[in-house]
Amino acid sequence: MGKSWLPLLAFLVLWKIVPNEAAITVGGGVGIGIGNGGGVVGGGGVWIGGGIGNSQTPPSGPWVSKLSAAYTALQAWKSAITDDPLGILKTWVGSDVCAYKGLFCAMDSDSETFVAAIDLNHANLQGILVGELSVLTDVSIIHLNSNQFSGTVPDTFRGLSSLQELDLSNNHLSGSFPRVTLYIPNLVYLDLRFNSFSGPIPQDLFNKGLDAIFLNNNQFEGEIPQNLGSSPASVINLANNKFSGNIPASFGFASSKLKEILLLNNQLTGCIPQGVGVFSEMQVLDVSHNSLMGHLPDTISCLTDIEVLNLAHNQLSGELPDLVCSLRNLINLTAAYNFFSGFSQECSKLFIGNAGLDLSLNCIPGRDMQRPQPECSVIPGSGLSCLRIPAAQPLVCGALLGNLEANLTSSSPP
């Protein structure tokens, strides 16, 4: 998963805004897979950029206003960058911004040239983001992964009306969650991982039409908003933060498109909610290194596409059931460092088949590498009451959502 779809999306973004009869060739710096050497999209292409060696002749024609505004904004940003160890900004000279390294231009249906993408990944630039960049209202992609930008995300970024991908990962940005990202109307990919953002995350994040949400390796804290399952995203990564409280009980009720969710290394407590089984397309579920308790919900058996299931380093108990170990696509099941008391025949087959089953440091009689017996005499969370649907054998996964909603409603206070 991850970013495997980004080059295709980048290509489609530019294809969408350029008609066949006015096709383009994109040139310039670090490279995001747009264009193919000297090739063109469609036929009869027009050269619009292309590296350091281009002429610095100022642009002319009806599109001068957009490029002139871009020039002013980019020079303001250049002035706010204090270190450029790779010398990328040495190319940011003159008014032909389409020749700047890391900049990509395109032409719209009115033959107007504009900045379509910024890709400065791994440039190691040091400085801040400036509000003037908001004039780039046609930019679809901003990739600034692996730099040393600090400060906050300017509120003016809400003016980036065409932006679809914003990657600010692996920088030194700080402050509260940048709410301005929620007001960028066409954003579908948000990557804030490996920064120093802190505080709670807003509920509106999961109401926005994002396909990928990466918030891992920050200092976010507080409870995960109750509408987590409402997000249409296919990937959500909240790992390595300081989130506390329960995984929302309504998790899974509003969406079934989620393919990967990573909640590892937080401070989550309570049960794994029954709603997890609604995500029939789930491929990766990692809730390891938390303080989750209770038995596994039977609805995990509905995760027919699951490949990686990591439950390690929690306080889960009971027996690992056939329903879980019989999942046909399961490649890795990690349940180490819990309080499981046994495992079923199907789990034995999984173990024998060397499919990546780790049950070490549990409380399973007769197995090696288990907890000392005194640790197993008191099971954490033995009195924990988790929402469970009435035991129906066999579990009908297709009817799961309705059953869960009915039980949640009946158990809610009046």
Q: According to the model, what pLDDT value does residue 253 have?
A: 61
Can you give the pTM of this predicted structure?
0.82
The predicted structure's pLDDT at residue 24:
30
344 falls within a domain: yes
11: in domain: no
Range of the domain at 374: 55-411
Which residues contact residue 14 at a Cβ distance below 8 angstroms, ignoring those fewer than 6 apart?
24, 26, 34, 41, 106, 116, 117, 140
Question: Can you give the pLDDT at residue 238?
Answer: 98
7: in domain: no
Give the pLDDT score at 181.
98
Q: What is the largest CA-CA distance in the chain?
A: 81
Residue 397 falls within a domain, yes or no?
yes
For the chain, the domain total comes to: 1
Q: Tell me, what's the pLDDT at 398? A: 55
Residue 283 falls inside a structural domain: yes
Q: What is the pLDDT along the chain (414 residues), one digit of tens a residue?
A: 454 444 444 443 443 333 333 333 333 333 333 333 332 222 222 334 433 233 333 444 444 478 999 999 999 999 999 999 999 999 999 999 999 999 999 998 888 899 999 999 999 999 999 999 999 999 999 999 999 999 999 999 999 999 999 999 999 999 999 999 999 999 999 999 999 999 999 999 999 999 999 999 999 999 999 999 889 999 999 999 999 999 988 776 655 689 999 999 999 999 998 888 888 889 999 999 999 999 888 888 889 899 999 999 999 998 887 778 888 898 888 999 999 998 877 777 765 545 578 889 999 998 889 999 899 998 887 767 675 544 444 455 755 555 555 554 444 444
- Is residue 10 in some structural domain? no
- The enclosing domain of 388 has a CATH number of 3.80.10.10
- According to the model, what pLDDT value does residue 396 have? 57
Please give the pLDDT value at position 251. Answer: 78
Q: Residue 323 domain-assigned?
A: yes
Cβ–Cβ < 8 Å for 100, 71: no
Q: Is residue 221 situated within a structural domain?
A: yes
What is the predicted pLDDT for the residue at 343? 81
